[in-house]
Structure 1
Amino acid sequence: MEIKKDDLTSTKIKQLLEDHLQSMTLHSPPESIHALDLDGLRQPEVTFWSVWEDEELLGCGAIKELAPDHGEVKSMKTSSVHIRKGVGRLMLDYIIAEARNRGYKRLSLETGSMEAFLPARLMYEKAGFHYCEPFADYVPDPNSMFMTLKL
């Protein structure tokens, strides 16, 4: 598996991100969906990576700089045919390492509170993230859970 910084132009990436947004609408009400679309991922404060095996897209992830010492995990998604193969954890470990390299003191994330998000929450817990109060511009929401990792 190889992780590459991605410019968000390939059709494979666009399809994976469309799938990501679609899955959010299946499990979360519109006001509780915080996933970024292509334009949101192209903002200068966001760095986006994709995970590949040869020509096959396995997954993706991004980091958004909230402050010089605080980043947010965004757009973590594994292709449905590659779930439970370690793609998500590989991407998360890469993002954590990048956050450390940038000198962040904290890395945070928002994820859903519904059962469908339990595997992701367990992965974040195993990586050392702890539940926390809303951060940045987030507000309390029964459909969202907030987690943070001190670096």
Structure 2
Amino acid sequence: MKIIIDDLSKPKVIQLLTEHLDGMKANSPPESIHALDLEALRKPEITFWSAWEGLEVTGCGALKRLTVHHAELKSMRTAKSHLRKGVATHLLHHILIKAKERGYKQVSLETGSTEAFKPAHKLYERFGFSYCEPFSGYSDDPFSTYMTKQL
């Protein structure tokens, strides 16, 4: 699997992000969706990675700078055809290494709280993330789960 910094211009990546946003809409009410669209992911404080097997995109993830020492994990998604093949594990491992290299001391995330998000919770738990209070402008929301990890 090849993981690259992506400029969000490839049609396959755009399709994966569309799938990601559609999944959020299907599993959370509009006011509880915090997934970023293409324009938001292109902001300078965000680095976006895509994962590839040959010419096929297998997944994506992003890291948003919150402060000098704190970043937020965003837009983690595995392509449907690559679920349960370790894509998310490889991506998360890669992003956490990059976060350490950039000097971050903490990485946090917001994800959904419904049954559809339980596999994500388990992944983050395996990587040492713990549940936490809302951070960086988020608020209590029954459809959101907040997690953090000290690096």
2:89 counterpart residue number: 89
Aligned to 1:42: 42
1:138 correspondence with 2:117: no
User: 1:84, CA displacement in angstroms?
Assistant: 0.4
Distance 1:36 1:149 in 2: 21
The alignment's TM-score, normalised by the length of structure 2, stands at 0.99
Other-structure match for 1:80: 80
Q: TM-score, normalised by structure 1?
A: 0.99
RMSD in angstroms over aligned alpha carbons?
A: 0.4
C-alpha offsets along residues 72-123 of structure 1, whole Å, 9 cap, x if unaligned? 0000000000000000010001111011001111000000000000000000
Partners of 1:140 and 1:93 in 2: CA distance? 28
Distance 1:110 1:42 in 2: 19
Q: How many angstroms apart in 1 are the aligned matches of 2:30 and 2:115?
A: 17
- Residue 137 of structure 1 deviates from its aligned partner by 0.9
Residue 35 of structure 1, CA deviation: 0.3
Match of 2:113 in 1: 113
Inter-partner Cα distance in structure 1 for 2:56 and 2:143: 33
Unpaired runs of at least 5, structure 2: none
Segments of 5+ residues of structure 1 without an aligned counterpart are: none
SS at match of 1:111: strand
Residue in structure 1 matched with residue 30 of structure 2 by the alignment: 30
Q: Point out 4+ residue stretches in structure 1 off by more than 2 angstroms.
A: none
Identity %, equivalent residues: 56
Q: How many residues align?
A: 151
Distance 1:18 1:56 in 2: 16
